[in-house]
Amino acid sequence: MTGHHGWGYGQDDGPSEWYKSYPIAQGNRQSPIDIVSAKAVYDPSLKPLNISYESCTSLNISNNGHSVMVEFEDTDDKTAISGGPFENPFRLKQFHFHWGTKHSQGSEHTIDGKPFPSELHLVHWNARKYATFGEAAAAPDGLAVVGVFLEVRITKIACLHDEKHHTVKCLRTNFNPKCLLPLSLDYWTYPGSLTTPPLNESVTWIVLKEPIRISEKQLEKFRTLLFTSEEDQRIQMVNNFRPPQPLRGRVVRASFKA
C-alpha cells in the first residue's frame, strides 16, 4: 500500500527509502531510538511531568492512510503538558498509534532492544513561542511528543470495552486522553524528530517508562477498530512503525533513578 505523499511502510516506499525524498532522514537527531536504560543519565533537575487534559474537546478521529489520528481543539493552554524539561506549556494537538501485525513488534521506540506491540504518540506544540502548529513543527524546540507503550495484559482503557461503534463515538466526543496514561509518569527524554515524513528535527521526546496494559482480546478489537473506517471499509494498515535510528552522540536523560 503506497502512502498518500509517495511514502508508506511497504517494500518500495518504506522507512529505508524515505531519505530519497527527505534527506533529513539521515540527520543527527532522528527518531525513534533504542533507549538503553543503563546508559540513560538521571537528571535531578528534570521536573515531574504535569499533564492537564481535563477540558479537552476532540474534533475528529480520522484514518490518514498511515495511522489513525484523533485531533483536538488547540485554541488555549487548558489541554497541555508542562513541567518536565520544558519552560513553556505545550498544547495537545493530536494523538495517534503505531502498531504491528504480531505482538512481538509495533512500537517505534524500543527499551534495551525490546519492542512493544504498540506505541501511542501524544503530539503537543509550543504555542507560547510559535503562532501555528506548522511554524512550531519546523522549529528545534517547537514540538513535544509523549510516547506511551502498550503492552498486552490487563486493560486500563475502559473505553475499549464498548461495542465498536460506541467506541468510535466515545473517542469522538467526550474522550479524555488521560485514560491512556499509566499511573507512573517516570520518563526518559531526548532531542529527536518526527517519525514520519517530513521527519523534522523539532521534537523533544518524553517516553514514559511504564506501559499501559491491554488484554489480547482488546488488542485484537483495537486493531479491528483501527483498520475500520466509518463506512466499514477494511483498510489493512499494519507495521506502520519506523525502526530505531542512530543516536549520534545524543544523551538520553531519565527523570528517575534506575
Across the chain, mean pLDDT equals 83
Question: Domains of the chain, with CATH numbers?
Answer: 18-254 (3.10.200.10)
pTM of the model: 0.85
pLDDT higher than 60, residue 184: yes
What ranges in the chain are assigned the alpha helix state H? 133-136, 164-172, 216-227
pLDDT higher than 80, residue 235: no
71: exposed, middle or buried (Cβ count in 10 Å: 0-12, 13-18, 19+): middle
- SS3 for 191-216 is EECCCCCCCCCCEEEEEECCCEEECH
C-beta of residue 194 within 8 angstroms of C-beta of residue 31: yes
- Give the DSSP H or E segment for 236: none
pLDDT higher than 50, residue 201: yes
Looking up cell 474522550 gives 175
Active site residue 66: yes
Catalytic: which of 4, 5, 66, 96?
A: 66
What's the confidence (pLDDT) of residue 23? 97
Q: What pLDDT digit, counting tens, does each position of 96-131 carry?
A: 888 887 778 889 999 999 999 989 999 999 999 999
Rounded CA-CA distance 202/195 in Å is 11
According to DSSP, the residues that pair with 190 across neighbouring strands are 205
Q: What pLDDT digit, counting tens, does each position of 55-102 carry?
A: 666 667 766 667 767 788 778 777 899 999 999 999 999 988 888 877
C-alpha cell at 92: 495537545
